[in-house]
Amino acid sequence: MLQTYRAHAAERAALGIPALPLTAQQTAALIELLKNPPKGEEAFLLELITHRVPAGVDDAAKVKASYLAAVAHGTEKCTLISREKATELLGTMLGGYNLTPLIDLLDDAAVAGVAAEALKKTLLMFDQFHDVKEKADKGNAHAKAVLQSWADAEWFTSRPEVPQSITLTVLKVTGETNTDDLSPAPDAWSRPDIPLHALAMLKNKRDGITPEEDGKRGPVKFIEDLRARGNLVAYVGDVVGTGSSRKSATNSVLWFTGEDIPFVPNKRFGGVCLGAKIAPIFYNTMEDAGALPIELDVSQMGMGDTIELRPYDGKALKDGKVIAEFKLKSEVLFDEVRAGGRIPLIIGRGLTAKAREALGLPLSTLFRLPQNPKATGKGFTLAQKMVGRACGLPEGQGVLPGTYCEPRMTSVGSQDTTGPMTRGRAARHLLRTQDDQRGLAGHHRPDDARRAERPGVPGLQRRPGDAVVLPHRRLPQADRRQDAPRTARVHEQPRRHSAATG
């Protein structure tokens, strides 16, 4: 296993990217080696189990969590990993398979303190919040400490605030940057492999950008040289993020401008994106990833410039002189960056609110709250009413543009090329689409293990009042490009039970 992994890592290193995260099979083989470590490989084995296994609900994470739980409970012995260390490593896995063992370990005097510290920083608790509360209600001091930590939002306050001043090196891309420039459609098959896919970012020659291999590999070495100056690299453009592939495009940008997510292989967060105009859905996706997207005048920023960004003052400076002023769309953005992204902030705020309610405490005043737009009195569009219904609003009420809301999602829709990127979403159903003209996406090649993922929505039932949103299609009179969206069809297995009609 080690020989094969090292050969693979060498191949990837030649491309300038890290090895793929370990699969479930590789993780199982790694565990066998940990049980009887070869001499001289001890540190490498620990590095692999600590940093190279995916977190969350990945199959490999399930294998890792199962073994670490056994070591933490003392039912499995490992000369390289103590019970305390195993508990600590469980706490780095974000959520999913690690939660049950961590909660159980709150009753184990030997490691309960370590388990509590891990749970204090874990946000993806969902229904297992009640398991912790139940232990706290029965007098478990460590469970009480976890609840209090959540109530005090230590998961948030323990992270650094957005600095008053940020020194940036400019990666300037003039004109319009479409998501296809950042995540080219011909390379869609590699989108789940973020480092590999990022190599195709800006692969086509344009003003100010010289790819290493035109049409194949972007200016990777040039961007690395900018990073080597020691500052954060900011992606700067006139118009940034138009187009639909915003998630994979964001992944590519953050691979070069963001920071590694601790204990999560091949994923990054943070970064700064500046644009005279940033497409709304791309802006939102950058928010989700913990980036700092700001709209401002970028005309005086050139490739390779060193600038100072003062986000609270709303100013950008070069050589000590103000070259642009701006106002954030919402100051909640500061909390989003501090939390590691908009999604962690939303989930974390909910966890804090739930903990405070359980402890009989008032609502937290720690977080910045969004300011919703005032009612116009002009009624609502059908789309606004659909979102309003998902948010639990009364019949006929809708959600206005700019409103902060949390709709209840029961199904997740995924384009043909992004199936593996959608795994682990908390929804009852997964709806995937397939392109009529191109057939299955590139990652469904015969030699690709992911081919086992089949399109379809077993058991998805439509009821009166449900809405089904299908992918867009180009108008017949529009000029067709080779990469233009084509008509998509939904693949659905026959329903086993008929939904009641009325």
Tens digit of each residue's pLDDT (9 = 90 or more) over 204-245: 999 999 999 999 999 999 999 999 999 999 999 999 999 988
Q: Which of 102, 117, 151 is the last residue of a domain?
A: 151
CB contact set of 356 (below 8 Å; sequence gap of 6+): 151, 362, 363, 364
pLDDT tens for residues 278-312?
Answer: 999 999 999 999 999 999 999 999 999 999 999 99
Which structural domain range is residue 303 located in?
166-339
Q: What is the pLDDT of residue 244?
A: 87
- Per the CB < 8 A criterion, the answer to whether 283 and 294 are in contact is no
Chain segment 348-383, per-residue pLDDT in tens: 999 999 999 999 999 999 999 888 888 888 889 999
Shared-domain flag, residues 213 and 127? no
Residue pointed to by tokens 């737009």 = 373
Residues 115 and 190 in one domain: no
pLDDT of residue 411: 67
Q: What is the pLDDT of residue 376?
A: 83
| 206 & 314 share domain | yes
Residue 48: pLDDT above 90?
Answer: yes
- For residue range 160-188, what is the model confidence (pLDDT) as tens digits? 999 999 999 999 999 999 999 999 999 99
The total number of structural domains that make up the chain:
3
pTM exceeding the 0.85 threshold for the entire prediction: no
- Residue among 247, 260, 258, 253 at smallest CA distance from 188: 247
- pLDDT band, very low/low/confident/very high, at 502 (cuts 50, 70, 90): very low
473 contacts 486 by C-beta, under 8 angstroms:
yes
Confidence (pLDDT) at 450: 40
pLDDT at 340: 95
pLDDT of residue 426: 47
Q: What's residue 52's pLDDT?
A: 97
The average pLDDT across 76-89 equals: 97
Mean pLDDT for all residues in the chain: 86
Q: What is the pLDDT of residue 481?
A: 41
Q: pLDDT per residue over 378-419, tens digit each?
A: 889 999 999 999 988 998 899 998 888 888 876 666 554 444
Query: Which residues are CB-contacts of 334 (< 8 A; sequence separation ≥ 6)?
Result: 161, 162, 311, 312, 328, 368
Same domain, 192 and 43: no
Q: 315: helix, coil or strand? A: strand
Q: In this structure, is residue 160 part of a structural domain?
A: no
Of residues 490, 161, 471, the one with CA closest to residue 337: 161
Asked, for residue 383, whether it belongs to a domain, the answer is no
Bridge partners of 272, per DSSP, are 234, 292
Whether residue 369 lies inside any domain: the answer is no
CATH number for the domain spanning 111: value is 1.25.40.310
**pLDDT score, position 198:** 97
